[in-house]
């Protein structure tokens, strides 16, 4: 059985802000991937995955989905009995969409209605996002559906607001000094508790105000400038975004990254932001001079994801 691969995703912009209707820019990340496979389940990883799928299939059996998006849960359960598991190297708790890829893989294989991501309309994208939200809620308590949507489409997606999403093209990569890169904090983050902290903060009127008037403005300006490849306003807003996060998202910034975050702001050599919900996992870095940033971030494991 040769099932398609589903890649991880990276939220370049919009983490937390999307909950409050900011724009978001999310891209697939092919370094990590997962696919559904059969096996004799003779190792712990495969056995655990198979057992997790079984629990998930019970959740799906009770889930009411619109008729166009119904899943063949019986076929899914049969395959689980035959040794189905999700073979994935996507790290969990790193903000790169481990549950999103799993949901996308199951939907692609067991949805009664087959779709071609290349021809999906904007309206259908909106409906898909909603359905994926229901499917992924099992893993996080609540889900916007964005992660599975990106993994399923395997295309960059621009989130215009809570309602509207569309396919988008990123500026062509080129060999330059600049880079967007990932820093491995070396610790696993848990999405649930971080989102809980965010919702607690939202109860504070002052925080809500600065989120809407500052964070969302800088975030949207970064997306706009990046897609136009207008790098001066991009880095100007990127710094503001990084300063804002340093001041307001402290509980979400892993402790061992804190000084490095400040060093970037003080030197203007690079700027850091959260990748996903934070608390651990990856942190995103943006720099005009990767060689310089790399030296300053000595001791951290880094991966370049985009050059310019």
Please, which pLDDT band fits residue 192 given cuts at 50, 70 and 90?
A: confident
Of how many residues is the chain composed? 308
What would the pLDDT profile of 131-140 be if each residue is shown by its tens digit? 999 999 998 7
* Six token digits for residue 164: 């509207």
Interatomic CA distance for residues 31 and 182, integer angstroms: 12
Share of the chain above pLDDT 90, in %: 79
Please, which pLDDT band fits residue 94 given cuts at 50, 70 and 90?
A: confident
* Six token digits for residue 297: 């971030």
The residue-averaged pLDDT of 94-102 equals: 85
Is residue 97's pLDDT more than 80? no
The residue-averaged pLDDT of 300-306 equals: 95
pLDDT at 227: 96
Interatomic CA distance for residues 83 and 132, integer angstroms: 25
pTM, two decimal places? 0.84
Residue appearing with tokens 């940033």: 293
* Six token digits for residue 219: 């975030």
pLDDT at 244: 98
* CB 133 within 8 Å of CB 144: yes
* CB 212 within 8 Å of CB 20: yes
pLDDT at 146: 83
Interatomic CA distance for residues 278 and 285, integer angstroms: 14
pLDDT at 33: 95
Q: Assign 3-class secondary structure to 219-250.
A: HHHHHHHHHHCCHHHHHHHHHHHHHHHHHHCH
| Domains defined for the chain, CATH in brackets | 6-167 (3.30.230.10), 179-307 (3.30.70.890)
Is residue 1's pLDDT more than 70? no
Is residue 93's pLDDT more than 80? no
198, containing H or E segment? helix 191-202
pLDDT at 7: 94
* Six token digits for residue 140: 């996080």
What would the pLDDT profile of 140-186 be if each residue is shown by its tens digit? 777 888 889 989 999 999 999 877 888 999 999 888 999 999 999 99
What would the pLDDT profile of 230-261 be if each residue is shown by its tens digit? 999 999 999 999 999 999 999 999 999 999 99
């Amino acid at each position: 059985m040769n099932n398609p691969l589903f890649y991880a995703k990276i939220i370049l912009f919009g983490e937390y802000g999307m909950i409050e209707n900011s724009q978001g820019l999310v891209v697939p990340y092919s370094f990590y991937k997962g696919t559904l496979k059969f096996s004799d389940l003779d190792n712990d990883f495969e056995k655990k995955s198979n057992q997790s799928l079984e629990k998930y299939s019970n959740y799906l059996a009770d889930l009411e989905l619109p008729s166009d998006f119904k899943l063949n849960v019986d076929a899914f359960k049969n395959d689980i009995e035959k040794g189905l598991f999700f073979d994935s190297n996507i790290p969990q708790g790193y903000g790169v969409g481990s549950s999103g890829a799993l949901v996308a893989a199951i939907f692609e294989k067991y949805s009664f209605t087959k779709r071609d991501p290349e021809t999906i309309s904007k309206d259908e994208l909106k409906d898909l996002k909603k359905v994926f939200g229901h499917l992924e809620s099992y893993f996080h308590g609540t889900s916007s559906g964005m992660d599975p949507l990106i993994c399923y489409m395997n295309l960059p997606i621009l989130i215009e607001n809570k309602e509207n999403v569309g396919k988008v093209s990123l500026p062509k990569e080129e060999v330059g000094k600049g880079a967007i890169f990932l820093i491995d904090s070396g610790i696993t983050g848990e999405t649930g508790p971080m989102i809980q902290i965010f919702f607690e903060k939202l109860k504070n009127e002052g925080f809500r105000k600065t989120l809407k008037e500052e964070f969302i403005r800088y975030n949207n300006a970064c997306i706009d400038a990046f897609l136009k490849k207008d790098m001066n306003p991009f880095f100007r807003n990127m710094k503001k975004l990084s300063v804002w996060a340093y001041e307001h998202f402290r509980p979400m910034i892993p402790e061992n990254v804190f000084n490095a975050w400040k060093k970037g702001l003080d030197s203007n050599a690079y700027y850091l932001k959260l990748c996903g919900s934070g608390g651990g996992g990856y942190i995103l870095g943006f720099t005009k001079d990767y060689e310089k940033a790399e030296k300053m971030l000595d001791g951290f494991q880094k991966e370049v994801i985009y050059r310019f």
